[in-house]
Amino acid sequence: MSPSPQASLHTARLLLRPIVASDQRRIHEGLSDPRVNAHTGIAYASYEDTARQMRWYAELQASGTGLWWAVCLSQRPDELIGAIGLTQLVAEHRRAEVGYWLMPDCWGQGLAGEALAALLAHAYGPLGLHRVAAEVDVDNPRSSALLDRLGFRHEGVRRGYEWKDGRPIDLAVYARLASD
């Protein structure tokens, strides 16, 4: 179950390719948008600060504990419109967690669903995973709807699991198994 070298994934409208250094500008733009970071828990004050996110992607891959892709429209492979990937990958137990975000002008077109379907096929196929989970702020209906559409099962709620903006956040746990 080696995540390297990282394959590019193709869908009807999208290319999911490895994240490269020149993506930092668009990643900063996305993750500093309040509509995106309202539920991701990731926000960067400056472009330079986003270098931490770039290092995090590289470290996940180097340690084998995760793998992220730049999401691009097939016709514009250099312009990142979002990112999707795996974290908390535990090879021994064939499980990982999925994360994703898209630039808000790309919401409402089924693009996140298309990217997630491709990622799941890769996760259960070449990566050999059995369980892909997601933890979602209970007040993030777009993300929950996406997981429902992709056949994830709601397993429960971690109450008061994160502290954000001075108040506790409940996280819904979803998962889909290769055998589902």
DSSP string computed for 16-82: EEE--GGGHHHHHHHHTSHHHHHHHS---SSTGGGHHHHHHHHHHHHHTS-EEEEEEETT-TTSEEE
Q: Binding ligand COA by CB under 6 A: which of 107, 157, 161, 173?
A: 107
User: Which residues ranging from 71 to 90 are in contact with ligand COA (CB under 6 A)?
Assistant: none
Q: How far from the centroid of its chain's Cα atoms is residue 156's Cα?
A: 20
Kindly indicate which of the ranges 62-70, 89-97, 107-115, 154-162 contains the residues binding ligand COA, using the contact rule CB under 6 A: 107-115
Any contact of residue 110 with ligand COA (CB under 6 A)?
Answer: yes
Any contact of residue 56 with ligand COA (CB under 6 A)?
Answer: no
Whole-Å CA distances, 34 to 56, 147, 157: 21, 22, 24
The contacts of residue 104 (CB under 8 Å, 6+ apart) are 33, 35, 36
Any contact of residue 142 with ligand COA (CB under 6 A)?
Answer: yes
Kindly indicate which of the ranges 55-63, 88-96, 110-118, 120-128 contains the residues binding ligand COA, using the contact rule CB under 6 A: 110-118
Q: Binding ligand COA by CB under 6 A: which of 70, 71, 146, 169?
A: 146
Q: In which element (H, E) is residue 121 found?
A: helix 111-124
Any contact of residue 108 with ligand COA (CB under 6 A)?
Answer: yes
Residue 16 or 112: which CB sits closer to ligand COA?
A: 112
Any contact of residue 113 with ligand COA (CB under 6 A)?
Answer: yes
- Residue whose C-alpha is closest to residue 3's, from 123, 93, 97, 83: 123
Interacting residues toward ligand COA by CB under 6 A: 36, 39-40, 100-102, 107-113, 136, 140, 142-143, 146, 149
